[in-house]
Amino acid sequence: MRALVLAVVLVFLVAALETRADCDDSQPRLTGFDIAPLVVDVSAHDAKVRCTMPVQKAGALGVDVAYCSLYSPSGQLGAGAVGECYAYKPVTGDAWDGVFQCDITIPAGSEPGDWLVWVVELYDANGGSDMHGYWDLPDMGAPTIVSVLDTSPVVTAPGIVDFDLSSTSVDVTEGDVRVTCSVAFESPAPLWFGTCQVGISWCDLVETAHGHASCDVLVPQGAPAGVQSIYVSIQNTLWAYASMDSATLEEHGWPSSVEVADAAPDVTVPFLTSLTIEPAVVDPAGDPTLAAATFAASGVERFGFGTCEFDSATMFFWKEVSEIGPGLYRCQIPITIGTTGGTWTLARVEITDHAGNSSTWYNTDLVALGFPSTFTVGCSAIPEPALRFADVSTLAWHAFAPADRFTVYRGYIAGLAFGDLGTCQSDRDPAPADTSFADTDLPAPGQSFTYLVGVRIGAGPDTLLGYASDGSARVALNACP
């Protein structure tokens, strides 16, 4: 009778897997939203608010990341621990049908008033997304305002009180020159981020002492000759900021520009001389494969930075360009199970040299130059971990590429009526990453065992446990550790 009961469980398991076919064109979907509490007091202590995001996703890959952010009354968007948060795994259910939660910390002394839920967004591993925010969350019946109280408010904005440069004129004919920016500021909170920009070059300010920060801007050899303007900005950990451009710096009587001399400025723009895309056809089954665009460009004395954009019918990726040799560059994307099938297009390539000369080639430009501009992602069926008995005492199933390990549950047929999937048998499985489990136990007379195999990906919970007869996702009452 054991084999008969196993077949019933098998039907449920396979039905769950059939919705997760290869070449995942599906998009994540936010099915609701909540944030709580709706009123917090930051007079003396930090406060936390929790974003709750129920999600659904079809296809081979579930929701990878859920994101939530707040916007303060003065319009300063928070980040890091302030103003936004990320959730990387569900607290209930799974990545295909579950609930993600994350906490935003609003520090003591933050700006009082109504903070707006700015953006709530879901991402899958292929770049698919679902974005919502203050503009449409009310249509879902979701709250969008968190009231922040502060009975003893303090001035949160920093102020720049002095600025200086180590030099206001440089000659880069023979090589790079560094210019030190020094900023004095007043702020009720420590410096979180700041920049000093000279023309096209910039550096990140570092707080060297209370109220003082500095950094070195590298003015490169080959930079354009002439007057380069200055821009400086600071932002504290309360997300208040201050900035000054050249005109404002000049009004204060502080250095506002750098005179750059260069007897041999580099004014040559990059020019694409060759490009290949390999492989031309990618099979996403099995281990991840890298699809790479490799190209050569002339006119680049020293590489600065670059980006590529790869587009499919439903999603796109931005990737940084890396220099892999003199005049040779590459950008690449991983193609995994669930990647959108069909034709992918290299939509854009951009490269900027150290002197700031930049060129951009769009897909139509690549075609006009006679270079390849597409590659194809083929679809291969994901083998289903079909459950069966390999012999009288060995449970077996097919390999499932995304799985890091499998969990085995054994119960009694009578428990199915109550949603009891059984107890975890993983402590009896010496090799949880393989595709078999030996069980020599026999049920009591008149009883029958049921078996169910779950999938674990990384540190995440069980997935692919299938669905109950009412359509709800199965949840193991006694989940494996």
Residue 16 lies in a domain: no
Q: Do both 218 and 235 map to the same domain?
A: yes
pLDDT value for 273: 95
Q: Are residues 45 and 134 in the same domain?
A: yes
3 occurs within a structural domain: no
Which CATH number is 196's domain given? 2.60.40.10
pTM, to two decimals = 0.56
Q: Are residues 249 and 197 in the same domain?
A: yes
Are residues 126 and 171 located together in one domain of the fold? no
In the numeric block, which tokens belong to residue 274? Answer: 């060759």
On whether residue 1 sits in a domain, the answer given is: no
- Considering its fold, how many domains does the chain have in total? 4
pLDDT given for residue 23 in this prediction: 64
Predicted confidence at residue 16, as pLDDT, reads: 30
User: Among 162, 158, 155, which residue's Cα sits nearest to residue 235?
Assistant: 158
Distance CA 403, CA 451 (A): 18
CA-CA distance, 251 to 21, in Å (whole number)?
64
Whether residue 169 sits in one domain with residue 131: no
CATH number at residue 299: 2.60.40
Q: Is 245 exposed, middle or buried (0-12, 13-18, 19+ CB in 10 A)?
A: middle
* Under 8 Å between Cβ of 43 and 112: no
Same domain, 294 and 341: yes
The domain of 367 spans 271-377
pLDDT at 254: 97
The domain boundary residue, chosen from 149, 167, 193:
149
Tell me, yes or no, whether 4 lies in a domain: no
Same domain, 354 and 398: no
**457 and 415 in a common domain:** yes
Within the chain, which residues score under 70 in pLDDT?
A: 1-25, 75-82, 126-127, 153-156, 284-288, 313-315, 337-338, 379-386, 398-402, 417, 446, 460, 463-464, 466-473
Same domain, 339 and 411: no
| Confidence at residue 75, expressed as pLDDT on a 0 to 100 scale | 65
Token readout for 223 is: 């930079």
| SS3 track for 250-300 | HHCCCCCEEEEECCCCCCCCCEEEEEEEECCEECCCCCCEEEEEEEEEECC
* Cα separation, 18 vs 24, whole angstroms: 12
